[in-house]
Structure 1
Amino acid sequence: MRSYDAFLLISFGGPEKREDVIPFLENVTRGRGIPRERLAEVGEHYYLFDGVSPINQQCRDLIAALRDDFAANGVELPIYWGNRNWDPYLEDTVAEMARNGVRRAVALATSAYSNYSSHRQYLEDIERARAAVPEAPEIDLIRPFYDHPGFIDAFVDHTRQALERIPEELRPETRLLYSAHSLPIAMAKKSGDPRRDYGSLTAYEAQLLETARLITERLDRDYPYEIVYQSRSGPPSQPWLEPDINDRLEQLAKEGVRSVVVVPHGFVSDHMEVKYDLDVEARETAEKLGIRLERAAAPGTHPAFVAMVRDLVAERAEGRPPRGLGAIERSCHDDPADCCQRS
């Protein structure tokens, strides 16, 4: 049994005005040798939205929903928020928690899967922030939650809504494309717990496939579905997980597919990579090909997702076995030292 005196939301962060875009991208890519021209190219994605990434406001909205949910269910934990790459920075938030007398906090990162950037790197962020703050609180990071009922139920609801926007005559043949952030294959092979057997797939791929299966089988019809990837950013010489969603749309058009619903199941909110890579790029590709494309919303502040966070806090505090709908053996629950290492 663990006793916590605060809840901490940890996220990626994003700019909120045009002049912050390039400094933010420099933070994200620091140490990776990304050319300035590439940063400027990616910056254009943000300028389409006047330099404002949706992710910070989405964190504020989630915090507001969590405060209401905690209050309604007797969870008396103050809520803090810190980012990896932009204000409010995690180190500043940990310093604030220390000033306020917080001794032990439970933290949730806004990513559901177990790979380096979405799990292990957040553990490293926490330790780096704590090392910089005298008398920093202990911080326990909640496990990956890709198959938790609240995560699945939110996507089921949003996918149904997207399907309803497909014309009725096209709905029976609609293909579901489950989209997630691509990773370098070398990094994907380091995802999950190396003591687990994921067959021919990496842990990340296996978890994405399991989440897609769990969502699809709860829909009203047996829709064909598959996994696609988005947001690749590495050099062409480096192999990444495929297929890219735009390439797959080209293939599906040749196969005669006329309608798709894209489900961004690799994400917890409709942040920039969803808004640009899917709502701009993929939609333009689909329109060019004559494919009707609808996108399901990510969980965001869906009541099932908000309730999931409260359940995960209780799970960690009470030491309960992890709750999940999937068949994959649980990984990274207790943050083993060799889980999700950098490639």
Structure 2
Amino acid sequence: MPDPQKPIGVLFMAYGGPESLDEIPGYLSDIRHGRPTTTAVLDEITNNYRQIGGKSPIMGLTKAQVEGAMAQLNPPGEPERFKAYLGMRHWSPWIEETVGQMIDDGIERAVAIVLAPHFSSMSIAKYQAKIQAGLELYRGDIDFATVDAYYDADLLIEAFAARVREAVEQFPEDERDDVHVVLSAHSLPVRILREGDPYQDQLWTTARLIAERAGLREDQWSWSYQSEGRSPEPWLGPQLEDHIPTLHEERGVDKVVSLAIGFVSDHVEILYDIDIEAQKAAKAMGVTLVRPPSLNDDARFTRLLAELVEGRAAEEGWIDSDVRAASAGAPSMPMPEGTASPV
């Protein structure tokens, strides 16, 4: 039986990123499971990171998110109920190694949460598989409760909607009705749709809830994917750098707010793919593109993380059920069939 006096572990997980240009070859090797990276691809990725400052900011931002959540999970002056751990999928500290540290620390129960709101077999499920790999590698026995998705949590929707409103307000008041909002997320291969993966339906649900909360008209926003991979198979689209010129050519849009809702912090897919590549495409068409800040350590988001962790712990009977997490409402899966596509 687990010792109820021991703190509950909280394993926060994120994608990871290189801390310097010198780390990029190793980082790409990890993503590619040891397969060689061509010189052309390595040079291109290195140049992308050079343009955003020579490193990924994801580690520092993720630590700030964890600190914000833990400040609420362990209020000052109260016994320590939770103990935080951080694991990265593709860079140090690797999830498997972090699980090993949790075993060494005597953690018996833990909540695992990925800092990405939408479930996919190609994303969240991969993180969860690494937890299991860590348990097997280090021969441990931790009872993990996972947060699978939180794409329609009220605090998430409000945080994103606030970003939309802030960005629209950067335009002159008499031009705001003409501003078009493009919501986006990382593309995945089209085959996930045939496999019944809930990723796209969850994204579209999030997008519609944000648009509604932000007070956007149906014709004032649209959906796009971004950052598609390099494999030859088809990927979900349209791609952001193609979608913006299409909006301009077909609908006369010349003012755009671009908000990535599949990410919760800045990294190369934001700082390069949007701020440089999409911005370049927009400027070539005479389109003004504004990107509001990512959620990063937004107080609404860190509060949501705390509530989700408390909620899963309460569901498992590890803490009293009358916790704040009841308001977070982690959604159940799968999504209802027939979810309509955004405009």
Same fold by TM-score greater than 0.5: yes
Which of residues 247, 251, 254 is equivalent to 1:252? Answer: 247
Of 212, 219, 222, which residue of structure 1 is paired with 2:214? 219
Long gaps (5+) in structure 2? 316-320, 336-343
Match of 1:17? Answer: 20
Of 244, 264, 267, which aligns to 1:268? 264
Give the TM-score, by structure 1 length.
Answer: 0.86
Runs of 4+ in 1 over 6 A off after TM superposition: 320-326
Q: Verify the 8 A CA contact 1:112 1:118 in the aligned structure 2.
A: no
Whole-angstrom distance in 1 between the partners of 2:269 and 2:26: 18
Tell me, in whole angstroms, the C-alpha distance in 2 between the residues paired with 1:64 and 1:33: 37
Q: How far does residue 169 in structure 1 lie from its aligned partner after superposition?
A: 2.9
Aligned length: 319
Aligned residue in 1 for 2:200: 205
Determine the C-alpha separation between the residues in 2 that align with 1:183 and 1:323: 31
Corresponding position: 1:82 with 2:78: no
For residue 5 of structure 1, what is the aligned residue in structure 2?
8
RMSD: 2.5
Asked if 1:242 corresponds to 2:244, the answer is no
Aligned-partner Cα distance in 2 for 1:191–1:271: 29
What residue number does 1:38 align with?
41
2:341 aligns with: none
Q: Deviations over 1:189-226 (max 9, x none)?
A: 4354xxxxxxxxxx322211111110111124436211
Quote how far apart the aligned CAs of 1:306 are: 1.1
SS of aligned partner of 2:183 = strand
CA distance in 2 between counterparts of 1:245 and 1:49 reads 19
Distance of 2:161 and 2:171 partners within structure 1:
16
Partner in structure 1 of residue 168 of structure 2: 163
Q: Per the alignment, do residues 118 and 323 of structure 1 end up closer, same or farther by CA in structure 2, a change over 3 Å counting?
A: farther
Task: State the alpha-carbon separation in 1 of the partners of residues 168 and 18 from structure 2.
Answer: 32
**1:47-58 equivalence runs, <5 A:** 47-58=50-61
* Distance in structure 1 (CA, Å) of the matches to 2:290 and 2:307: 31
2:192 counterpart of 1:187: yes
Paired with 1:142 and 1:121, the residues of 2 have a C-alpha distance of 13
Between the aligned partners of 1:96 and 1:136, the Cα distance in structure 2 is 12
SS of 1:166's equivalent in the other structure is coil
> What residue identity is the alignment partner of 1:250?
P
Q: 1:279 to 1:243 in 2, by over 3 A?
A: same
Question: Are 1:70 and 2:66 counterparts?
Answer: no
* 1:191/1:84 CA distance change after superposition, 3 Å: farther
Q: Secondary structure at the match of 1:8?
A: strand
* 8 A Cα contact 2:160 2:261, kept in partner: yes
Normalised to the residue count of structure 2, the TM-score between the two structures is 0.86
Measure the CA separation in 2 of the matches of 1:114 and 1:145: 9
1:89 and 1:221 map into 2 onto residues whose CA distance is 40
Answer whether contact 1:299 1:305 (CA < 8 A) is retained. Answer: yes
Q: Deviations over 1:272-315 (max 9, x none)?
A: 11111001111111112111111123322111111111211122
Aligned equivalents of 1:5 and 1:36: distance in 2?
45
CA–CA distance in 2 between the matches of 1:283 and 1:191?
33
Tell me the amino acid that sits aligned with residue 289 of structure 1. M
**SS of residue in 1 equivalent to 2:111:** strand
Q: Which has the higher contact order (CA 8 A, sep 6+)?
A: 1
Partner amino acid for 1:190?
E
Paired letter, 1:105: A
Q: 87-96 vs 23-32, which deviates more?
A: 23-32
Distance 1:26 1:40, change over 3 A: farther
Instruction: Quote the offset at 1:187 in angstroms.
Output: 2.8
For residues 140-169 of structure 1, what are the alpha-carbon distances to aligned partners after superposition, in whole Å with 9 as ceiling and x for unaligned?
A: 221211111121111011111111112323
The one-letter code matched in structure 2 to 1:118 is S
Q: CA contact under 8 A between 1:84 and 1:90: conserved in structure 2?
A: yes
Cα pair distance change 1:227/1:83, threshold 3 Å? same
Secondary structure of 1:30's aligned partner: coil
The residue number in structure 2 matching 1:111 is 116
Q: Contact 1:113–1:145 (CA<8 Å) still a contact in 2?
A: yes
- Give the Cα separation in 1 of the matches to 2:286 and 2:115: 34
Seen in structure 2, the aligned counterparts of structure 1 residues 184 and 33 have a Cα distance that, compared at 3 Å, is: farther
For the 8 Å contact 2:151–2:202, the answer to whether it is kept is yes
Deviations 1:244-268 (A, max 9, x none): 1111111112131110111111111
Identical amino acids, percent of aligned pairs: 29
Q: 1:24 to 1:152 in 2, by over 3 A?
A: same
Query: More displaced, 306-315 or 275-284?
Result: 306-315
CA distance in 2, matches of 1:45, 1:62: 25
> SS state of the match for residue 284, structure 1?
helix
Q: Which moved more, 1:68-77 or 1:79-88?
A: 68-77
CA contact (8 A) 1:147 1:324 kept: no
